[in-house]
Structure 1
Amino acid sequence: MSDLATAAAGPLTVGILYSGSRQDYGYNQSHALAAAELKKISGIKVVEEERVPETIAAQRTMEGMIVQDGARLIIATSFGYFKPHVLEMARKYPDVTFAHTGGVWAPGMPDNAGTFYGYIFAAQYLAGVTAGHMTKSKKLGVVAAKPTPNLIRSIDAFALGARSVDPGIKVRVIFTGDWVLPVREAESANSLADQGVDVIACNVDSPKVVVETAEKRGVMSIGYHSSQADVAPKGFLTGAEWNWIVPYMEYVKGVQAGQKPVHYLRGGLAEKFVRNTAFGSAVPQKVRDAVASVHAELVSGSRVIYSGPLSDNKGNVVIPAGTVYRDSDRALDAIHYLVDGVIGEV
């Protein structure tokens, strides 16, 4: 019997490491919520460690979980853990399954390593539809960390969603320069409010500061990663959330069955990898119904977010007429432009 099969015969210990606090109202908390779901399942033990740097410390944490706790599945949640840390540990422990958030597995990498992610931009599109219905000024804002392809894809989707409601809407984006800069995030939210923006969204690791600042300014807000509804009871509209328990369970079941992991696992709204936060009290029923209708169209495939003709905010055609990119299309992985209607620079 192989080591994987032996592990499958008994209780499964899952080790999960986070780069920040599990209660950050953002990215790390979205993973911690999935970990909490795992803990409810009979036959599964979860060991966690938070605030693990993206350094050799990550390897020490993973090795400790394997050697001391008997973990047979390691879930490494931070992007910087993948190269070289997850890959080195996967080579060292070939009978342990490693699942990494956001990495891209390629031939030649360890067979016991898998990567997973969600098409969060689809939920951002629905958040944009919500904001498009709710805005009165036709001025929306986004506080974002860095112009990475994933964030650009989400910002563009948010704008496309809003402008599907009203093409006259403009979206102002401010990049703070890093994933967690609370002072800069507050300054950016205040700047957007000063410009007459009446709905502020965010693409930072911990959206709490942006949402709180918007609430203080009497501005509506859109969350990210997990729910921030309780810090903005008046102005919170919805958010784009990860539902990590779905890919987590794919890897859990694989280990329990003695199988090698899926190397490249992705999903969107239809696969329930992503979702939208429950609507806040400010959102009327007619808007909820309109967003639900668009959600159904996205899931069925009758509506596509990225299709031509589409121009960037400098007037260049970036998707020609007749070209359609589905959520899973790898052509969107390297997106580097802000679409028409977005005020900002990459």
Structure 2
Amino acid sequence: MLAGLVLGAASVMATAVQADDLKVAVILPGLVNDKAFNQNVFEGIERIKGELGVETAYTEKVPQPSQVEVMSDYARRGYNVIVGAGAEYTDAAKRVAAQFPDAKVLVLNGAPTEGVATINFENEQFGYVLGLTAGHMSKSGIVGALSAQQVPAFDQIVAGYRAGVEAANPDGKVLIAYTNDWADIAKAKEASLNMVSQGADVMLPYLDGGFLGVVQAAKQRSVHVVGVVSDLSIPYPDENLVSTILDFGGALYMAIDLAKKGELEAHDYRFGIGTDAGKLGGFNAGVSDEVKAQVEAAIAAMKDGSLKPGAAQ
């Protein structure tokens, strides 16, 4: 079992892959230098190649209509672990797994699917930490969250985010927006500025390269962002209020390590906050020690099961 995660029930992959024959192909929705999700996954690919000695390949910017074709092409070329990086690959992964039963198919952030391995995070937990901090620090009581599409992971993050905001401020309000593009910086900035015009002074971007537009809007209007995937406190210490880290690259590395041992199964592998791949990032200098202590207490309560942020409605 991957260290520090919950293993959901699912069927076992039908065919074992010999370690010395392992070839891993990763299909990405964006660019590997986006300083967000795709780059994080790429860093995992590099670790897999360098530390595990596994042959790897990847393709960037694969649109949804081409997913099955690209994944199938890798399977036909002898790649026996095919990875779709993102929830939008779930349907394609199911089709490819059925068509190529000798390959293992894995989806990062994908809905649990028969015959497919999925890697997910307990998204409500991460959202709760961000919402608790935002709820305490927001001057307006209004915060925002935006993504490209309404995917289950974002719904879960928002559910936790809203629960955290309300725990800090029962009158708090969460605004939601979608840009319809994971990488478009201008669209993300426009959506963020619209939220700010409605009173939001903290924004949560769940985007790929488009997150930079949210940071730009925060800088322009002197408000804050919370980072859910990457630690924004390092490159943007003034704009960042608090960040969590969803290390998809690290989780992928652990999954491929299991595959190398012949132990990767068609399970839903999940990481909670405070695990090897799910961590708390940095705080803004203006966040009080009292708020930080409340966040740490919430993390401890979620780890021991006494705090369970509600599932998305």
Which deviates more, 22-31 or 127-136?
22-31
Which of structure 1's runs of 4+ aligned residues deviate more than 6 A? none
- Is 1:58 paired with 2:32? no
Q: Which runs of 5+ in 2 are unaligned?
A: 1-13
Aligned length: 298
* 2:243 maps to 1:233: no
- Residue ranges of structure 1 left out of the alignment (5+ in a row): 307-331, 337-346
Asked whether 1:96 is paired with 2:103, we answer yes
> What's the TM-score once normalised by structure 2's chain length?
0.81
Q: Which secondary structure state, in structure 2, belongs to the residue aligned with residue 221 of structure 1?
A: strand
Distance 2:195 2:94 in 1: 41
1:195 aligns with 2:198: yes
Of 18, 27, 39, the match for 2:28: 18
Supply the distance in 2 between the matched residues of 1:214 and 1:98 (Cα, whole angstroms): 39
Shift of the 293–46 alpha-carbon distance from structure 1 to 2, 3 Å rule, reads same
Kept in 1, the 8 Å contact 2:32–2:38? The answer is yes
- More deviation, 124-133/142-151: 142-151
- After TM superposition, give the deviation of residue 298 of structure 1 in Å: 1.0
Whichever residue aligns with residue 103 of structure 1, its letter is A
What's the RMSD between the two structures over aligned residues? 2.9
Deviations 1:223-250 (Å, cap 9, x if unpaired)? 2322344553312122343222454245
Distance 1:29 1:65 in 2: 21
What is the TM-score normalised by the length of structure 1? Answer: 0.74
Q: Residue 51 of structure 2 aligns to a residue in which SS?
A: coil
Name which of 294, 298, 304 aligns with 2:298. 294
Q: Tell me, what secondary structure is at the counterpart of 2:62?
A: coil
User: Retained in 2: the 8 A contact 1:17–1:49?
Assistant: yes
Q: Could you give the per-residue CA deviations for residues 135-156 of structure 1, whole angstroms, max 9, x where no partner exists?
A: 2332322234344443233223
Larger-Rg structure: 1
Q: Specify whether residues 277 and 40 from structure 1 end up closer, same or farther in structure 2 by C-alpha distance, changes over 3 A only.
A: farther
2:124 is equivalent to residue 114 of structure 1: no
User: Given residue 203 of structure 1, which amino acid in structure 2 is its aligned partner?
Assistant: Y
Cα distance in 2 between the residues matched to 1:178 and 1:42: 34
**In 1, distance between residues paired with 2:178 and 2:68?**
31
Q: In structure 2, what is the equivalent of residue 74 of structure 1?
A: 82
Q: Are residues 159 and 64 of structure 1, via their aligned partners in 2, closer, same or farther at CA, if it must alter by over 3 Å?
A: same
Indicate how the Cα distance of structure 1 residues 303 and 104 shifts in structure 2: closer, same or farther if over 3 A, else same.
Answer: closer
Give per-residue Cα distances to partners, 1:229-287, cap 9 Å, x unaligned.
45533121223432224542453244223346233333322544533333244434443
The equivalent of 2:40 in structure 1 is 30
Question: SS of the counterpart of 1:277?
Answer: strand
Q: In 2, Cα distance between the equivalents of 1:91 and 1:176?
A: 33
Partner of 1:87: 94
Match of 1:316 in 2: none
How much does 1:177 deviate? 4.7
Separation of aligned partners in 1, 2:149 and 2:94: 25
Q: Distance in 2 between matches of 1:196 and 1:62?
A: 44
Measured in 1, the distance between the counterparts of 2:94 and 2:177 equals: 34
| TM-superposed deviation, 1:60 | 4.2
- 8 Å Cα contact 2:144-2:203 kept in structure 1: yes
Asked if the contact 2:128/2:165 (under 8 Å) is kept, the reply is yes
Question: Does the 8 Å contact 2:85/2:107 carry over to 1?
Answer: yes
